[in-house]
Amino acid sequence: MADSSARTLVLGIGRSGEILQCGQNAPGVVGRAPEDIVGTDAAALFSADAKEVLTGLLDALGTEQERTAVLSVVEDGGPRDAVVTVVPMHGRGDESGLMMIRVAVTDLERFTDPALMRWALLDDALPRISAMLDLEQMAQELAGVIVPHFCNSAGVLIRESIMGADEVPSFSPEGTAVLHRLAVAADSDFPSWSAAFPAGEVLAYPPGTPYVRCMATSAPVLEPHLDTKAARAIARAWRRPPVARLLDGVSMVLLPLIARGTTLGFIVCTRSDAHRAFDAYDVEIGMDFAARAALYIDNARRYSRERATALTLQRSMLPTGLTAPSSVEIRHRYLPGNQLIEVGGDWYDAIALPGGRVALIVGDVAGHGVRAAVTMGRLRTALQTIVNLELSPAEGLQQVDALMRGIGEREPAFATCVYAVYDATDGTCEIASAGHLPPLLLRPGGTSEFLDVSPAPPLGVGEGMIETRKFTIGDGGILVLYTDGLVENRGQDIDDGLLRLRRVFGPEALLSPLEDLAKATLDGAYSDHDRDDIAVLIARLRRLPEDHVVTMTLPARPSAVREARGRVRGTLGSWELDELSFTAELLVSELVTNALRYATGDIGLRMLLDRTLVFEVRDGSDALPRARQAADDDENGRGLQVVHRLAKRWGARLEGQGKVVWCEVELPGDGDRVFESWPGEALHL
């Protein structure tokens, strides 16, 4: 492919070497007119010592092979090396072909042919660059085109506010635009140019320089010749002494990058004093190039910003951290359907609940893209609130179903969801499902099964009631919640996908790290370009140690407060948490006193040592306590205020025919006092 650093002559030749056709640029390449060349032997164009090599090239016409060699072209100014390529062509009669002769352009001849510069800048490289969507890569390619075809050195700069998805100040304190240098190119002494004008630098040019004038006027700035004084003035204003040497004697033009009425930045181009200085016609060619480049940069900017916005939306709606009791180990995976649509409606969540419990949720909003992601975010936020209200899984999904019906009144929308609550104190797990695939349970004995959770219709679709099923899970069992994208696609039956998932969680999975299981779950998913979004939540469910859960029953009499304080003091001593005794006794006293005042029957007290210290007081009343601001002369109403001030958090939930009021106290240190290993971990050290 010809470029502006070489001149190319195309000849049509016959098998014998006779020149049958000749291009119009023969004078610039071989120093002879086209009419003087047609009908002559191609050997006359080259020096005598090139005859043997030329014969080998011409033999290519009979072998249908392209061949290239370096030969000396005979000119009035003496022989010049040329790259000669012979390409066989099919036609009538004898074999014929094309001979392309390329001769290098000397420094004195560079940038002298406007047509060649225009072709190299606008027609050759720009169509290829237009397909790029990465700003930095595109800028580097643009710099690589304009050097050496238009100038000796160049830099591409755009506003810093364009680089990120978030807006940043567009102007420096001096009022000049803040720019980001994306790329630098130079055809000689590149280390000096890249050191003085480093790529990636964020800067504001000094006032009074040509760069500021270009951004202020959105018009090209031509400096035909920068003398030593002008170069030193720019270097002094910029406080970069090497700039004076690099700009001394150069010709410079700044080409603004304007797209859709907005000045994005500019391209700064310089030619050394060994070449022709820039003129008005060069500025016209350069502006044609800059106008197209600006559109490409703006398209890439819009794509980058929209993609960043979509990904930020997706990531902000998915959980940044999953919480669970210390005895429960969790791993998760999220994989969008394809690289073109990187957001979707699948989600997962794990939320630690008081009392050694954890809510495990996986859901799937129908559809893809931003709309599905927004709906997913609304559902996930609603479920987080419902989880913290400590409703049962079925009641929680019923509330979300009402929300989905409201969304569906404006636009069709539905979702599937499975919601489980595991209690690490007794190993029970309550599960409710709305149109979702059944969870997979690997029991400690090595058997696996898909749990029968009697799914109701998807959220927002049917009128069916959602029910909660209760299961007892052995210590160390593995529960897998997933969306349909994991087990179903157009080329695979869902039964085959479920069977594959069951094979991944065979008996050997009990002794495998969850991270390895998570990777194995997605094996082959990345190569499948015809799949749905995938969300997977894997939980190894273990119970809290028995000595970390202490339960007692207190009689409904005033002495119960004293008994509770004594039991708390003794238990904290056995847990080596005596420093928390005063605070814990005060909290339990207030909770037990509250139960004595408003409830009937015996009172239950439970203490749990987990990541926090948890106290639960059970009574037979279903009236939930409500914190209020007591007046100065009130005798009551301050107990829960004390709890609110001293506890990390507190709350209440209905349970059976009564309620549980609980509070949490932070442990000294990091709180990880419960064992963190998993069965079989020692086998993988």
- Find, among 465, 412, 411, 410, the residue nearest to 434 by Cα: 465
pLDDT digits (tens, 9 = 90+) for 143-180: 988 988 899 999 999 998 877 654 444 555 555 788 99
Sheet holding 448-450, edge to edge: 328-335, 534-541, 477-482, 440-442, 448-450
- Find, among 514, 544, 681, the residue nearest to 612 by Cα: 544
541: which strand partners?
328, 477
Task: Report the alpha-carbon distance of residue 159 to residue 263 in Å, rounded.
Answer: 9
pLDDT of residue 489: 75
Q: Say yes or no to pLDDT of 89 above 60.
A: yes
616: which strand partners?
606, 662
**For residue 148, cis peptide bond before it (omega within 30 degrees of 0):** yes
Q: How many CB atoms lie within 10 A of CB 303?
A: 13
Q: How many CB atoms lie within 10 A of CB 392?
A: 17
3-state secondary structure 391-423: CCHHHHHHHHHHHHHHHHCCCCCCEEEEEEEEE
CA dihedral 141, 147, 148, 149 (to 10 degrees): 80
Identity at 358, one-letter amino acid code: V
14: which strand partners?
96
In terms of C-beta density within 10 A (0-12 exposed, 13-18 middle, 19 or more buried), how is residue 297 classed? buried
- Find, among 412, 411, 386, the residue nearest to 400 by Cα: 386
pLDDT of residue 450: 95
Identity at 467, one-letter amino acid code: E
Average pLDDT over residues 539-548: 94
In terms of C-beta density within 10 A (0-12 exposed, 13-18 middle, 19 or more buried), how is residue 393 classed? buried
Share of residues in the chain with pLDDT > 70 (%): 87
pLDDT of residue 204: 87
In terms of C-beta density within 10 A (0-12 exposed, 13-18 middle, 19 or more buried), how is residue 169 classed? exposed
Task: Report the alpha-carbon distance of residue 306 to residue 322 in Å, rounded.
Answer: 28
- Find, among 314, 316, 267, the residue nearest to 288 by Cα: 267
pLDDT of residue 171: 55
pLDDT of residue 505: 94
pLDDT band at 77 (very low <50, low <70, confident <90, very high): low
Average pLDDT over residues 443-452: 93
Average pLDDT over residues 30-34: 85
Q: Which residue has the higher pLDDT, 406 or 666?
A: 666
Average pLDDT over residues 484-500: 83
Task: Report the alpha-carbon distance of residue 415 to residue 663 in Å, rounded.
Answer: 34
The backbone torsions φ and ψ at residue 652, rounded to the nearest 5 degrees and listed phi first, read -150, 150
185: which strand partners?
154
CA distances from 336 to 418, 434, 435, 534, 647 (A): 19, 22, 21, 6, 41
Q: Say yes or no to pLDDT of 270 above 90.
A: yes
Q: Say yes or no to pLDDT of 4 above 60.
A: no
pLDDT of residue 429: 96
- Find, among 67, 101, 97, the residue nearest to 81 by Cα: 101
Q: Is the torsion defined by CA of 670, 675, 680, 685 positive or negative?
A: positive
Do 112 and 285 contact (CB within 8 A), yes or no? no
Between 262-266, 312-316, 399-403, the lowest mean confidence (pLDDT) is in: 312-316
Do 71 and 84 contact (CB within 8 A), yes or no? yes
Between 281-290, 352-361, 477-486, 670-679, the lowest mean confidence (pLDDT) is in: 670-679
Do 255 and 286 contact (CB within 8 A), yes or no? yes
CA distances from 78 to 22, 46, 134, 270 (A): 22, 11, 47, 32
Q: Tell me the CA end-to-end span of the chain in Å, nearest whole number.
A: 58
pLDDT of residue 78: 67
Do 108 and 72 contact (CB within 8 A), yes or no? no
CA distances from 399 to 375, 386, 395, 434 (A): 15, 8, 6, 12
Q: Pairing between strand 153-159 and 440-442?
A: unpaired
Q: Where are the beta strands (DSSP E) in 288-356?
A: 328-335, 344-353
Per-residue DSSP letter, 107: G
Identity at 668, one-letter amino acid code: P
Between 64-78, 215-229, 569-583, the lowest mean confidence (pLDDT) is in: 64-78
Task: Report the alpha-carbon distance of residue 206 to residue 183 in Å, rounded.
Answer: 20
DSSP annotation string for 440-484: EEE-TTS-EEE-----BSPBTT--PPP-EEEEE--TTEEEEEE-G
Q: Say yes or no to pLDDT of 326 above 60.
A: yes
Write out the H or E segment, with its range, that includes residue 551: strand 549-554
Count Cα atoms within 13 angstroms, Cβ side, for 26. 17
pLDDT of residue 634: 52
CB within 8 Å of 92: residues ≥ 6 apart? none
Share of residues in the chain with pLDDT > 90 (%): 40
Task: Report the alpha-carbon distance of residue 256 to residue 270 in Å, rounded.
Answer: 15
Core vs surface per residue 622-647: b (16+ CB within 10 A) or e: eeebeeeeeeeeeeeeebbeebeebb
- Find, among 288, 304, 296, the residue nearest to 256 by Cα: 288
Identity at 212, one-letter amino acid code: V
Q: How many residues belong to the chain?
A: 685
Average pLDDT over residues 87-113: 74
Core vs surface per residue 433-463: b (16+ CB within 10 A) or e: bbbbbbbbbbeeeeebeebebebbbbbbbee
pLDDT of residue 24: 81
Per-chain mean pLDDT for the chain: 84
pLDDT digits (tens, 9 = 90+) for 502-517: 999 999 999 999 999 9
Task: Report the alpha-carbon distance of residue 273 to residue 227 in Å, rounded.
Answer: 10
